[in-house]
């Protein structure tokens, strides 16, 4: 599913956030797309927590590609956090501690998953 569709605001309305079947379809796709973007940056050695160390990496990449990838990563990360916080989704069936450590997301997404995504038990994604 293209990132532009996954981050469309239609998914944030109450129907999708409170519908178990939709969450079961939506969250795993968000996670997979996010992982794909994160892997791209990991291969480059990009560090989301230290923008200054990334200047050399940025110089060696096509500007339009890197900007699109950065935009996708940010939108997907934000949408995953929104989904966790706005829904009753329990993300533990899809991202356990080992997978979270492998993914090594920026701190804000890690906190959303650990503090809110693993505690909610009403809907399982």
Q: What is the pLDDT of residue 24?
A: 84
DSSP code for 1: -
State percent of the chain over pLDDT 70: 95
Q: Phi and psi for 122 in degrees, rounded to 5? A: -65, -50
Indicate if the pLDDT at residue 125 is higher than 90. no
Tell the residue number behind the tokens 């923008």, with chain if given. 51
Rounded to two decimals, the pTM is 0.85
Indicate if the pLDDT at residue 21 is higher than 90. no
Highest-confidence segment of 39-43, 60-64, 89-93? 39-43
Distance separating alpha carbons of residues 75 and 3, to the nearest angstrom = 8
Q: What is the pLDDT of residue 10?
A: 84
């Amino acid at each position: 599913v293209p990132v532009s569709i996954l981050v469309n605001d239609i998914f944030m309305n109450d129907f999708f956030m409170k519908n178990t079947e939709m969450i079961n379809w939506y969250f795993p796709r968000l996670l997979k797309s996010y992982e794909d973007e994160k892997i791209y940056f990991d291969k480059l050695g990009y560090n989301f927590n230290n923008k200054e160390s990334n200047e050399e990496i940025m110089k060696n990449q096509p500007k339009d590609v890197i900007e699109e990838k950065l935009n996708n990563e940010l939108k997907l990360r934000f949408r995953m956090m929104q989904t966790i916080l706005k829904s009753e989704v329990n993300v533990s069936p899809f991202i356990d501690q080992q997978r979270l450590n492998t993914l090594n997301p920026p701190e804000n997404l890690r906190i959303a998953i650990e503090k809110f995504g693993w505690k909610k038990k009403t809907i399982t994604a």
